[in-house]
Structure 1
Amino acid sequence: MSFFKRLFGFFSDDKKATAAPSPRPVAPAAVAQAPQGAALIFIGWGEMVDGQSKISGYLLRPRSLVANRPIEASALRQALEREQVARFAEQRLVIIPLTVAQWQAVDFRSLIQRRSCFLIDDLGQLDAPARDALVASIRAAGARLAVDLRNDADLNLAGQADVLLFDFQTASLATLEKTVKTLRQRKPGLLMAADNVHTWTEHRLCLSLGFDFCLGSFAATRDEEAAAGPISESRLVVIEMLNQLRSDVDLADLATTAMRDPAVVVKLLDMANSPLYGLPRKVANLEEAIMLLGRDAVYRWLAIALLHVDANSGRDQTLMVFALCRAAFLKQVAGDADKQKADEMFLVGLLSILESLLGLPMSQILEKMRLPETVADALLRGEGPYARPLQLALALERCRLDQAIVLATSIRISPTELLDYYREAMTWATSEVGND
């Protein structure tokens, strides 16, 4: 099934209800019955970006919503199971941080798939026999081992690891280069990740030093060294169609604009003939396809196509994950009481990544688009009713939990709702792009 067919599964029930269905619904009873500890554990997902600029793995960052409360092992396992961590680990490397006590207290085998990896934070505090026994138990369970060198941990631990984590900002480049080279010679199959990477330039530097992955705030940012060219013809066609839909032009005029780009025509017909829409016969006429799909569905598709057309690089796919996650999260925050608000908040999340994707100032991009004033205010000036929900999405994306809780409280979102919304959005976004 194509990307856009899967994508519109997120909206396929809009004719029956104003709220988009979740790909992985959590029944109210399940939430109510979940242990309080598990329900109040936030799992942040730190993207591990590889040499092709794709998201190849995640470093999980569990946080308790209750300040100064340690995370109990059983609650953590249940929180990770609710995140469907094992499903992620079927395709991507997933690093799960635990303490020695947590590993020993609970059976974590339900989380293990072929790319599951446990990071034992206090492994270096064990004596050699106890450490060897713990590592052996992780291997016997079928998982990999990560070792954290971000805080000057003992390099001797590296020999037992499958994955090593470094802090790019704390060590000198000469030291990092020498260490990575030495470890690569000792253990060629060892994977190494640089954390705390701030820019795409630093990402490229880390790759040149021999790192396999980078983590940090750079992944959703603009690549400062990428030349900003003109907006492509395909994207200009999509933008013009979006503007025409907002102006309620005749379907014939909309179809004429679409015909300037054969790819747009093919994808609109493909979507119209998708089983999701259940049309009784195949549609071959573009104007008829637009009429049958409805203006709202076409507008949503075009908004997403604005990101997807001409987006073939690994970095484009990475940015698409951020855009879809933000959009789905904001749509859930909006709720089902006001369809227009939900659609506009989805659009805010989706378009918030355009500056990074196109390498152009947001003001220059939005000059070509006729957007609702509330959407433009949030994207351009960080103002209006959608600005704070967008800030909330960004805070969760960056694992800034304290800030997220304050923002959520200000817009009357409970901690449980906050975690559910983020988990659902993250799962949907990563599955859509990851399976394309």
Structure 2
Amino acid sequence: MFFYVARQPILNESKAIYGYELLFRDGPNNSFPNIASDEATIRLVEGSEFNAGVKLLTDNNFAFVNFSESALLDGLPSLLPTDKTVIELLEDIPPTPAILEAVQRYKGEGYQIALDDFEYHPDWHEFLPYVDIIKVDFRAMNTAHINQLLKDLRFFTGRLLAEKIETYDEYQQAKSLGFTLFQGYFFARPELIQKRVLSSSQAVCMRLLELTSEPNYHIDSVAELIEQDIGLTYKLLKFVNSAFFRRQSEINSIQQAIVRLGQVEIRKFSALIAAASLADGKPDELIKLSFIRARFMELLAQHNEQYKVEPASAFLTGVLSKLDAMMDNELTVILSGVAIAKEIKRPLIEGTGPMAFFLRTCEVLEQGNWTQLERLAQRLRIKPAQLIEYYQQAQQWGQSFAKT
């Protein structure tokens, strides 16, 4: 499954990249889909941050993202990193007290604020101290209109961005009027980016939404459900490390991630995932293999006395062990923005530690290398027949999810 996003560069006076406006696409044709703006924003945020990572999509430059009135009030921008996100208020957003309060809050958290396709009205005056960038559409305004707008904004201390610049003359005119940021076809058309992402079963997403909607849901039930879906597991870990929490927090199990989030945020996560509807049917062979590894490593941790490993951490290590093959990328890149403990990252990336030994045992069983299995069994102080039995139990467990 793929996630599609178009990015259009925004340049400074030296024609160096300042950032990119991110535009949702639902396929490789690089055109805006026929869906509501709210749905497009939700799918853009979910797909970019929980899969690819906004900073990777923008080469660590600023990401300009459009938000509607409801998205602003619902807190959707908070899912994106504070230091590299410019929150664009769409032109149809009314300057209400609730919107002003939201803008003040986002500004205080470290986001930049931009007003898109701006046309001056006195009601916007009290917003201006919190605004960093005002975007002016050069296709929608003539020279007289732009000059009047600049007079109305004479006390504005932020930056002016000229958008939809299509000719050299328009670029020169914008510079002469004091614009310092520029965007338009004169510089570049939106560039389509395609990223492979993990799909999440729609049935699991909807069940998660149901579970977390209950007044007092059971953490174990939610964790058990999330463990059934590799995509949800990965996205949950990304969510824990999102801008909501402001700092990296090491996670050792899915239960711990759910506890750390709390009821309000886990419900927000569930709603976002369900709304994005990234369903792609039943698990493929790679996902089934991850399930088998996760369950085998959990069983091994429960019954092994030679190496002291938390079963929940062993399970999570197995779940994540095939992400590189699923997402066509290196684990070092995939896990760079995920809040998991070092004892989980180390076996996956460096191949060291007890759980790396557990993973090696999985691989030997997958390959049917009985000679090597004898050696590993000796180190684990478990009979080879017992390891095979654990693996068969794990296969049955993994196959059961393939049928749901």
Give the TM-score of the pair, scaled to structure 1: 0.37
Whichever of the two has the greater Rg, that structure is 2
Give the TM-score of the pair, scaled to structure 2: 0.40
